[in-house]
Amino acid sequence: MSMATLLDHFEPAALPAHARAFRAEVRAFLAQRMPALPAERRARSWLGFDADFSRQLAARGWVGVTLPRQYGGAELDAFSRFVLVEELLCAGAPVSAHWIADRQSGPLIHKFGNEAQRSFYLPRICRSEAFFCIGMSEPNAGSDLASVGTRATRGESGGWRLNGRKIWTTNAQHCHYMIALVRSCGTPADRQQGLSQFIVDLSAPGVTVRPITDLAGDAHFSEVFFDDVHLEDAALIGQEGSGWAQVTAELAFERSGPERIYSSIVLLDRWLAWLRAQGDRRHAELVGRLATHLAALRGLSISVTARLAAGESPVVEAALVKELGTTFEQDIATSIEAALGTDPGAAIDGELLRTCAYVNQICPTYSLRGGTREILRGVIARGLGLR
Amino acid sequence: MSMATLLDHFEPAALPAHARAFRAEVRAFLAQRMPALPAERRARSWLGFDADFSRQLAARGWVGVTLPRQYGGAELDAFSRFVLVEELLCAGAPVSAHWIADRQSGPLIHKFGNEAQRSFYLPRICRSEAFFCIGMSEPNAGSDLASVGTRATRGESGGWRLNGRKIWTTNAQHCHYMIALVRSCGTPADRQQGLSQFIVDLSAPGVTVRPITDLAGDAHFSEVFFDDVHLEDAALIGQEGSGWAQVTAELAFERSGPERIYSSIVLLDRWLAWLRAQGDRRHAELVGRLATHLAALRGLSISVTARLAAGESPVVEAALVKELGTTFEQDIATSIEAALGTDPGAAIDGELLRTCAYVNQICPTYSLRGGTREILRGVIARGLGLR
Amino acid sequence: MFTDAFETFLRGHCTPADVRAIEAGASHQPLWEALSGSGFLELMAAEEAGGAWLDLAGVLPMLSALGYHSVPLPAGQAIALRSLLPSEWEVPDGLPTFAPAALVQTDGSLLAPRVPFGLLAEQVLAQWDGVLWLLDAQAAQRRSCGIAHDASADLQWDAAHLPRHARRVADCCGASTLVAWGAALHAALLAGALTRSFELTLQYGNERSQFGRSIGKFQAIQHQLAVMAEHVAAARMAVACAFPAHQRVPALLPAAMAKARCSEAAGLVASIAHAVHGAIGITEEYDLQLSTRRLHAWRLAHGAETHWHGVVGAALLEQADTTVADFVRELQEA
Amino acid sequence: MFTDAFETFLRGHCTPADVRAIEAGASHQPLWEALSGSGFLELMAAEEAGGAWLDLAGVLPMLSALGYHSVPLPAGQAIALRSLLPSEWEVPDGLPTFAPAALVQTDGSLLAPRVPFGLLAEQVLAQWDGVLWLLDAQAAQRRSCGIAHDASADLQWDAAHLPRHARRVADCCGASTLVAWGAALHAALLAGALTRSFELTLQYGNERSQFGRSIGKFQAIQHQLAVMAEHVAAARMAVACAFPAHQRVPALLPAAMAKARCSEAAGLVASIAHAVHGAIGITEEYDLQLSTRRLHAWRLAHGAETHWHGVVGAALLEQADTTVADFVRELQEA
């Protein structure tokens, strides 16, 4: 893709009428069902686990939104999905329980699974009865996903034995299943070769989940240990040895969503409310910069959404929006922290201060999940023909 | 050098009493001799050529400041040099004519030249009768100084023949001599091997200087062509084949000076005067940030000066100060440009606008001369033990 | 269709050599006459006046092309002028421009500070006291306020002569129409210059070798080009949002956002472009300077991001109970 | 001499495990008693009061060590307190802290917002109406305003009880003495935490392998570490300038610059530290968070760079005809 092509791919697009109309439905639902939470809890959004809320959303038909109706899915198009996600994230809804299943695991099973797997898992996902997590990262691997050491070996009487461990798994302690990328033949030196994906039942014997407490005192991440875990043949998802290609497709789903611009939005809105209550106009320039950045990002995000809706696979464009989007999300955090430090003598309400502190402490993760800054810039550079 | 060592090397230091007293002398000289120039001319400082001013400075004894008195030098210590340079740059004095000879060529000849070369060149430098330029860069080489293609070959009847060209030479059209890094044996593939330094008389037959006009309309840089230029044996400076080691030492002189923080200072002071005249206090935060950055940089710069005064060779420390310093110089330019754009309707005086435009257009060169950002960060990374 | 034809026109009539010649003092008349004769300046005029009644979305590619090709004449102002003059007016001859502001001085004179193309313009559209005026620039004192080929100038009209040289255009247009057009136009020009700067830099990164490989293979250069691409993409998107279909005059807040986003990108993109290029980039003979000089000048023209962010922020703070996402969405879906 | 001894003390009594335990709710009394018993808190006190009458330059390494070791108690305030109390006073028992501001409310109560260690402190030094007071913190209502182990709190004293719980310290000290000490102290703490964050990150960059080599071999990581080193060096230098020899109370402008420069570096250094570390850096069990949480909290404490830059800028603008270099030089040579 030449440079000119990449920039020209960001064509301005508008949300179609049905998606605009859908927004009112989502808002009506949230007005009724969204639990009353202080901003410092809503700021957890992505990481906020509330199985009950996820079940209510499922009952409304909005979990498994990309999946066909025959499996209980909503078959929403990309534009309506954009609206749903935008509203959930702007509200700070606790979506973590079903989030991965909805966005990654469900589509993956639908795309690469066999009919039995689809029939079993997809309806459960759409009812919020099956929560999923992702097993990609391993200790000491960082961004180098291909250096997988967790290993599935064929059992003598069929099935597989799984040994190893995965880390940075979101809320594994609350999930029913993990889709794990593991080595089914060869050694870590074989890199992308010989990898496969398995659906692991986290209640199986030999699985141990160790929640990892983070610097904000939460335990949203975890480490998962596999000690000779027995997997049926049916646990293999897709082709044996095709794990790398499948994961690449999965990450492309992951990187293209609008949530890559809204992670700090609860903090920003909470701060705006405070400024208005104080009648404080001194920060108008910063407010305007953040709103302006958001406007451009939202335009880019809808443009990527239009490509998805057209059946394309805008991997480079999505990486660009995510890189810019996480920069924006982190800019919100650090800029509002600075703004709150303008008046050491001001009495600022605790909810705003705690929200600001939380977002500032957790926001380094925004540029980790779904690919670090270095990885994404590498994707963009490749898209520009530089590597 | 471990990290702790590097940071601990920046010990706070104060200018000693004799250097503080020397400042009054420099100021008295400038009050009398500094030509009246508008800010947009003073902003050229480093690049401003005024042979007459340089001769007056030489008459006062302040050219060749590091050189021994026996050659006409001032033998100023590092602290007094710091004061002299700080005052010249803050005043925006047009120092280009003697600048390179004073800072690089003179010390190089003194360190690596033989007695005949010292006796011939150094007194002329100290009288501002011999202006020097540097021949390091070549077309298509960029930061890769070792890829030298200009070649000196031994003549049959003694001496050398010089062929090739050098580029980005400051004010070569006004200079008497160039100290050129050239290949005296081997090929460009030999890189650092086989390089030597020669003093080239720019009035010699076969030398052509082509001034290069820059984007601001000035012609401060030039390209110098050598077409079978005859060099005497005495033109070789230092050891044949030691050119790389000599140039490395020369660049270390070049990078450690306080001028690496003052290139935009004329613009900053001009803007402050404007703000005061307008009674405009809206930019106090930006003003304070720039003053605060300067204070820290000046402290670091004096700390490096103290190491130089103690006879050390603080190469990594100097690279760190230069990197931070050029960032500061460029930050001044872009921040003041933004500040002037705050009021599209304000009538702003033309001198300030032109100074701002000039500095913004030329400031990319601040992070080129003496090593690009990438080169300097590489030096720091090596100092940190990373490479 | 107009876009391709206009591109072809500019590649023929406004090469980098043409730009340099005009900037160096050669007559701009041949280029201006070619532009006028081409009909492109009439694109926003009514069809009965020989125009195409283009809307903002239709005209945006032409305005950005002016920035991309560093056109050294106020063709953008001429195009936009057609959307501002009453349809019954005959468009005046000569180079027009827009005054970012017009201030009545204590002596009754009128000062228009930092007018783009102020040294060349023959007509100046300006707004004060809620009225849009067309002023004869040739009756004004002009004071250059740029360097090296920047034609911007302060213009001042004596109180005594002002009435003869100012023609009342309209009260009808909104209080911020000219202000919004000035911002939107320069955002569109910036989008073109940003794109051109990026293209030159990417090409240079791919073609230039150092230390035995193309510099585009170095991670630090790749990262700088990636960041540049991000900011150019964001700036272009902000501009597109200020030039919607079915509208012929930009709205204030989208124009404010566009100018702010492009002005912010301008400083960053100019800085990366020059850092990647090294010394060659600051020479007169290499084309990058044609674009980056304009990035700096246009960042300032009609207000930098510092100004426009404040306008946007004040508007958002005024709207009680509006979230930032709703604020942005309502502008984009308006 | 004190510095090495204090380092040894902290390595023995305030390990990362000790910090975590106190933050998790274990009693801080053993550590506080060890600190009190060690004599280090008396370093600035007069020799006749058992102190060493240390000047600012002498005490700076100790204050930075508190930041480096993430000491979870107001030992820095306790050390500084000795330079502020009249020599005839007996230093009160218990944990002291400094109020960044004290505001008399309309109901006559006194509010001290966002007091560092406000949840733990027993004595609060505060200034209002030009007078320095020592307040009994145990008589105040305390409202936590931090998250996850941050002990800062809003403190409020009822009007009725205030007179009984406030002891007048002095009118004699300059109007900005406490303000300057609060800024300078937190700058010194930040310098320590910045250094520690940088050390951990550099070590991680050298030890951690990815894609078959240590991540410190990647150009992008090297550049981030170089930038980090630059900002830590600048921040430390700014702090050193605020702690000169032969002075026992910081001057306002050098303290302002130190706090501003460190606060600005804090955001950047925390961000790079976490970017280089990846996910491990945000875990509770890895030590980086002990430092970066404090970078954020101390960036805000007693005013962020946004506040202090404004103070410095206003002072410079007030001085007619003073160049920025002279302004800086006069502060540094004062």
- Other beta carbons within 10 Å of B30: 15
> Rounded to an integer, what distance in angstroms lies between the CA atom of residue B134 and that of residue B222?
11
Nearest 5°: phi and psi at C214? -65, 140
Four-point Cα dihedral C95, C196, C276, B42, nearest 10: 0
In sign, the C-alpha dihedral spanning D262, D264, D267, D272 is negative
Does the distance separating the beta carbons of B354 and C147 come in below 8 Å?
yes
ipTM summary value: 0.95
Are C263 and B367 a contacting pair at CB < 8 A? no
> What are chain D's partners, defined as 3 or more CB pairs within 8 angstroms?
A, B, C
Please give the Cα distance from D22 to D25 (Å, whole number): 5
Chain A residues touching residue D307 (CB < 8 angstroms)? 341-344
User: Is B58 among the domain residues?
Assistant: yes
Question: Smallest CA–CA separation between B292 and chain D, in Å?
Answer: 5
Question: Residue D148: pLDDT above 80?
Answer: no
Question: Are A341 and D305 within 8 A, CB to CB?
Answer: yes
Q: What's residue C175's pLDDT?
A: 67
A89: CATH:
1.10.540.10
**In whole angstroms, what is the distance from residue D142 CA to residue D115 CA?**
10
Compute the average pLDDT of residues C137-149: 88
* Span A316-341, pLDDT tens digits: 999 999 999 999 999 999 999 999 99
C218 to chain D, any CB pair closer than 8 A? The answer is yes
Residue B316's CATH number:
1.20.140.10
Q: Cβ of D218 and C220 within 8 Å?
A: no
A234 and A277 belong to one structural domain: no
pLDDT greater than 60 at residue C230: yes
Cβ contact A7–C195 (<8 Å)? yes
The residue written with tokens 């570490």 in the block is D225
Q: Give the residue from chain B lying closest to D313, CA to CA.
A: B288
Give yes or no: residues B57 and B100 share one domain: yes
Residue A16 belongs to domain spanning:
12-131
Check whether residue B259 and residue B354 sit in a common domain: yes
In a domain, A1, yes or no: no
Tell me, yes or no, whether B287 lies in a domain: yes
Q: Which residue of C has its CA nearest to D218?
A: C219
Do residue A373 and residue A357 come from a single domain? Answer: yes
Residue C198: its chain A contacts at CB < 8 A?
A: 3, 7
Identify the pLDDT of residue A3.
45
Q: Closest by alpha carbon to C66, among C244, C243, C197, C190?
A: C190
B279, B377: one domain = yes
Instruction: Flag if B284 and D310 touch (Cβ within 8 Å).
Output: yes
Cβ <8 Å between C220 and D223: yes
- Cα–Cα distance, C98 to C114 (Å, whole number): 10
Smallest Cβ–Cβ distance between B341 and the set C221, C263, C271 belongs to: C263
B201 assigned to some structural domain: yes
Q: Is residue B4 part of a domain?
A: no
Please, which residues bridge with residue B165 across strands? B225
Of the three residues B229, B244, B259, the one that is the final residue of a domain is B244
Instruction: List, for residues D25-58, the tens digit of each pLDDT value.
Output: 999 999 999 999 999 999 999 988 889 999 999 9
Q: Which residues on chain A are in Cβ contact (under 8 Å) with D305?
A: 338, 341
The last residue of one of the domains, among B81, B96, B131, is B131
Rounded CA gap, A289 and C310, in Å?
A: 8
Q: What is the per-residue pLDDT across B19-72, written as a single tens digit (0 to 9) for each? A: 999 999 999 999 999 999 999 999 998 789 999 999 999 999 999 998 999 999
Of C182, C209, C296, the CB nearest to B357: C296
Of A334, A362, A364, the CB nearest to D275: A364
Query: Does residue A312 register a pLDDT over 50?
Result: yes
pLDDT top residue among D220 and A353? A353
Q: Do D147 and A346 touch (CB under 8 A)?
A: no
Q: What pLDDT score was predicted for residue A45? A: 80
User: H-helix or E-strand containing A377?
Assistant: helix A373-383
Q: Is A253 found in the same domain as A347? A: yes
* The pLDDT value given to residue A1: 35
Beta-strand runs (E) in D152-293 = 153-157, 166-170, 209-210, 213-214
CB nearest A364 (choices: D101, D281, D301): D281
C85 phi, psi to nearest 5 deg: -80, 145
Same domain, A279 and A373: yes
- Nearest-neighbour CA in chain C from D200: distance (Å): 23
Highest mean pLDDT among B103-112, C130-139, D46-55, D253-262 belongs to D253-262
What 3 state SS string does chain C have?
CHHHHHHHHHHHHCCHHHHHHHHCCCCCHHHHHHHHHHCHHHCCCCHHHCCCCCCHHHHHHHHHHHHHCCCCCCHHHHHHHHHHCCCCCCCCCCCEEECCCCEECCCCCEEEEEECCCCCCCEEEEEECCEEEEEEHHHCEEEECCCCCCCCEEEEECCCCHHHHEEEEECCCCCCHHHHHHHHHHHHHHHHHHHHHHHHHHHHHHHCEECCEEHHHCHHHHHHHHHHHHHHHHHHHHHHHHCCCCCCCCCHHHHHHHHHHHHHHHHHHHHHHHHHHHHHHHECCCCHHHHHHHHHHHHHCCCCHHHHHHHHHHHHHHCCCCCHHHHHHHHHCC
Q: Are C97 and C118 in contact (CB under 8 A)?
A: yes
Q: What is the pLDDT along chain B (387 residues), one digit of tens a residue?
A: 344 578 888 999 999 999 999 999 999 999 999 999 999 999 998 789 999 999 999 999 999 998 999 999 999 999 999 999 999 999 999 999 999 999 999 999 999 999 999 999 999 999 999 999 999 989 877 667 778 899 999 988 889 999 999 999 988 999 999 999 999 988 777 778 899 999 999 999 999 999 999 998 898 899 999 999 999 999 999 999 999 988 887 777 666 676 689 999 999 999 999 999 999 999 999 999 999 999 999 999 999 999 988 988 888 999 999 999 999 999 999 999 999 999 998 999 999 999 999 999 999 988 887 678 888 898 899 988 887
CA contacts within 13 A on the Cβ side of C185: 25
B314 in a domain, yes or no?
Answer: yes
Q: For residues A288 and A230, state if they share a domain.
A: no
Among B7, B90, B303, beta carbon nearest to D323: B90
Same domain (yes/no): B235, B251: no
In chain B, the number of structural domains is 3
Chain centroid offset of residue B161 CA: 29
A246 three-state secondary structure: helix
- How many Å lie between the alpha carbon of C165 and the closest alpha carbon of chain A? 38
Which tens digit of pLDDT belongs to each residue from D291-319? Answer: 999 999 999 999 999 999 999 999 999 99
CB contact under 8 A, D297 and A346: no
Domain match, B293 and B262 both: yes
The dihedral through the CA atoms of A96, A102, A104, A106 has a sign that is positive
Per-residue model confidence (pLDDT) at position C130 = 83
Q: Domain boundary at A131, A148, A175, which? A: A131
Of A286, A290, A298, which is closest to C332 when you measure between CB atoms? A298
| Residue of D154, D220, D284 with shortest CB distance to A214 | D284
Whether pLDDT at A143 is above 80: no
Contact B334 C285 (CB under 8 A): no
D124 sits in which H/E element: strand D123-128
Contacts of D218 in chain A (CB under 8 A): 374
pLDDT tens figures, D192-230: 999 999 999 999 998 888 777 888 888 888 999 999 999
Residue of A nearest to C264 (CA): A289
**3-state SS class at B314:** coil
Q: Rounded CA gap, C22 and D41, in Å?
A: 74
D261 compared with A45, residue with greater pLDDT: D261
Beta bridge partners of A164: A226
- Taking the CA of residue C34 and the nearest CA in chain D, the distance in Å comes to 49
Identify all chain D residues contacting A217, using CB atoms and an 8 Å cutoff: 147-149, 284
Residue of B360, B362, B331, B270 lying closest to C296 (CA atoms): B360
Neighbours of C, requiring at least 3 CB pairs below 8 Å, are A, B, D
Instruction: Compute the average pLDDT of residues D136-158.
Output: 91
Comparing CA positions, the residue from B302, B304, B294 lying closest to residue B324 is B294
What does the pLDDT read at residue D93?
Answer: 84
From B215, B196, B85, select the one nearest C149 (Cα to Cα): B215
Collect all residues of chain B within an 8 Å Cβ-Cβ radius of residue C101.
344-345
Q: Per-residue confidence at D109, pLDDT binned at 50, 70, 90?
A: very high
CA A315 to chain centre: 16
Same domain, A180 and A198: yes
Domain assignment of residue A3, yes or no: no
- CATH, residue A217: 2.40.110.10
Q: Which residue has the higher pLDDT, C87 or A219?
A: A219
Q: pLDDT at position A370, please?
A: 67
Task: Specify burial of residue D183 (Cβ count, 10 A radius: 0-12, 13-18, 19+).
Answer: buried
With an 8 Å Cβ cutoff, are C257 and A15 in contact? Answer: no
Q: What percent of chain C has pLDDT over 90?
A: 80
* Whether residue B377 sits in one domain with residue B257: yes
Q: Is C2 on the interface with D (CB under 8 A)?
A: no
Report the distance separating Cα B335 and Cα A68, nearest Å: 53
**Amino acid identity, position C99:** A
**How close is the nearest chain C Cα to the Cα of B355, in Å?**
9
Chains that touch B (3 or more CB pairs under 8 A): C, D
Alpha carbon of C215: minimum distance to chain D alpha carbons (Å): 13
- Residue A90 belongs to some domain of the structure: yes
Mean pLDDT of chain C: 93
Place of tokens 């560093």: C70
